[in-house]
Amino acid sequence: MESQIKKDLNNLYESFTGEKAASIEALPRSGSNRQYYRLQGKQNVIGVYNADKAENKAFLYFARHFKKHQLPVPEIFASDEKNDIYLQEDLGENTLFSYIETDNRNGDFSGRLEGYYKQVLKWLPEFQVKAAQDINYEYCYPRKRFDRQSMLWDLNYFKYYFLKLADIPFDEEKLENDFNTFMDFLSEAPDHYFLYRDFQSRNIMIKDEKPYFIDFQGGRQGALQYDIASLLYDAKANIPQDIRDKFLEIYLEQLQNYIPELNKHKFREYYYGFVLIRIMQAMGAYGYRGFFEGKKHFLQSIPFAVANLKQLLDNQNLPVHIPELTYALKAITHSQKLQSISAGQKHLTVELNSFSYKRGIPVDTSGHGGGFVFDCRPLPNPGRYEAYKDLTGNDTEVINFLNDKPEVHKFLDHTWALTRQAVENYLERGFDHLTVNFGCTGGQHRSVYMANFIANRIKEMFDVSIDLRHREQNF
């Protein structure tokens, strides 16, 4: 299957550029069933395979529609709907979430991070209001509108995959009554706008200091409050409450440029209801992946969601009388089972080293002895060329040299497949340390390049700590 997908993508790439791709690299999978590939050659592009034809149609339509409105989304270069593939613009590696991880480690939003969010908040009404004016909702997937049925799916997802699996007590009939009351309230909010649905930091790329937006195939008609709630209560983003309040006000000011008659007070009345349903939807997803499927690293997101929920309850921001649901939500914040899960989680650290074989393989100081040593010496050596002798694998010139070599990408595919499998296994088993070493002749070019590449891949896909060391470069 994998080989056929790559063959079909290469054929589509050739029809687009006139040449075969020099390399095709499989990218890490996200939570969806879509498979992504980076094709490099005459033009670098991202190839996508997705067996869900309806979802493909939704994404392709929205991408072209938003591009027509000059919104920053990936350009679609070519598509082959028969083989469930398409080629889109390569927006690089950096998501807004990756900057959150580096800039917000101590709970402080840096000037750079705040600047990115302000740009995002400026663009959001363009999607919701301006581009919505002539959008064709017939392409929506899986539903045209975020209506009662959509809400009921999310609420039941929360009930069956979080409340029940986390052993949270509730009265089923009373809870169903509260669900209906809650949906009645949310349905009162004006809902003739475009609802992005998954508007969060992992779906925002940063390229050339500007945001670009991806993964909008679940978009549909709905209320304005949902997307801003998704962005500001994005669990692992862990945005401080005062910053959330500041960002909400900035968004409302932007929104008034499109809706001059906007009533901010009325907007806020419904806003916290959509915050709640978004938190509940996220908890359902964590419960399904973590409790039901047994993928323990999804449980790591639960403490952040519980913290958001507790803050909502402490500030008495529930906008409607829903006593049984409120009882269940408070039980979540006091659940010993959830607290023990959080306390019992071991955080995985992946140690990555580049080194020179002349000085030997790095000593494993963890005491575990688990991991890999990859020999990069069979790869083309930039050190043989005068232009690269004083540079390292951190330098753009060396990176470009190695990126142009098909054998390097073949090596990357194999090393990433092994490393990814190990990280997934270590997370499932609750291990706390994995070592991955890359060696070459001098520990200057190839090994540094490889360690950096794999570190970035791990960081993009997993919630782990990265300890990256270039031994021969003394850092």
Cα dihedral 351, 355, 361, 363, rounded to 10, equals: -40
**The pair of three-digit structure tokens given for residue 463, joined into one six-digit string:** 């919630």
Quote the pLDDT of residue 160.
Answer: 97
Mean pLDDT of the chain: 91
* pLDDT level of residue 342 (50, 70, 90 thresholds): low
In the chain, the percentage of residues whose pLDDT exceeds 70 is 95
**Using the 8-state DSSP alphabet, how is residue 395 labeled?**
S
Q: Which residues contact 145 (CB under 8 A, 6 or more apart)?
A: 137, 191, 220, 221, 222
Q: Tens of pLDDT along 143-195? A: 999 999 999 999 999 999 999 999 999 999 999 999 999 999 999 999 999 99
Percent of the chain with pLDDT over 90: 72
Residues in Cβ contact with 395 at an 8 Å cutoff, skipping those fewer than 6 apart: none
CATH assignment, 96-344: 3.90.1200.10
The reported pLDDT for the residue numbered 346 is 59
Long-range contacts for 276-279 (Cβ within 8 Å, ≥24 apart)?
276/182, 276/312, 276/318, 277/151, 277/154, 277/155, 277/182, 277/186, 277/226, 278/226, 278/229, 278/230, 278/233, 279/233, 279/235, 279/305, 279/308, 279/309, 279/312
Q: d(Cα 185, Cα 453) in Å, to the nearest integer? A: 48
User: Do residues 307 and 333 lie in contact, with contact meaning Cβ atoms separated by under 8 Å?
Assistant: no
User: Mean of the pLDDT values across residues 112-127?
Assistant: 96
CATH fold of 2-89 reads: Phosphorylase Kinase; domain 1 (3.30.200)
Residue extent(s) of CATH 3.90.1200.10 domains in the chain: 96-344
Please report the pLDDT score of residue 156 as a whole number.
Answer: 97
User: How many Cβ atoms from other residues are within 10 Å of residue 304's Cβ?
Assistant: 18
∠ CA 453-404-33, nearest 5°, is: 55
Burial of residue 232 (number of CB atoms within 10 Å: 0-12, 13-18, 19+): buried
pLDDT tens, position by position, 297-316: 778 788 889 999 999 998 88
CA distance 211 to 84: 27
- Residue 361, SS3? coil
Instruction: Please give the Cα distance from 349 to 454 (Å, whole number).
Output: 14
Q: What is the pLDDT of residue 295?
A: 74
Rounded Cα gap, residues 59 and 86, in angstroms: 10
284 backbone φψ class: left, alpha, beta (φ>0; ψ -120 to 50): alpha
Q: Please answer whether residues 322 and 181 qualify as being in contact, where contact means their C-beta atoms are separated by less than 8 angstroms.
A: yes
Q: Residue 49 in contact with residue 85, Cβ under 8 Å?
A: yes
Six-digit token string for 323: 């006593």
Round to whole Å and give the CA distance between 426 and 424.
6
Single-letter residue type at 365: T
Contact yes or no for 60/77 (Cβ under 8 A): no
Q: Looking at the chain, which residues constitute the CATH 3.30.200.20 domain(s)?
A: 2-89
Per-residue pLDDT tens for 390-422?
Answer: 999 999 999 999 999 999 999 998 999 899 989
Task: Say if residue 200's pLDDT is above 90.
Answer: yes
The pLDDT, as a whole number, for residue 69 is 97
Q: Could you tell me which residues come within 8 angstroms of residue 365 by beta carbon, excluding any fewer than 6 positions away?
A: none
Does 46 have pLDDT greater than 90?
yes
Burial of 188 (0-12, 13-18, 19+ CB in 10 A): middle
Strand pairing of 433-440 and 371-375?
A: parallel
Q: What is the layout of strands, in order, in the sheet containing 349-356?
A: 371-375, 433-440, 349-356, 465-470
Residue 116 reports pLDDT greater than 90: yes
Calculate mean pLDDT across residues 203-211: 95
Report the run of H or E that residue 344 belongs to, with start and end. Answer: helix 336-344
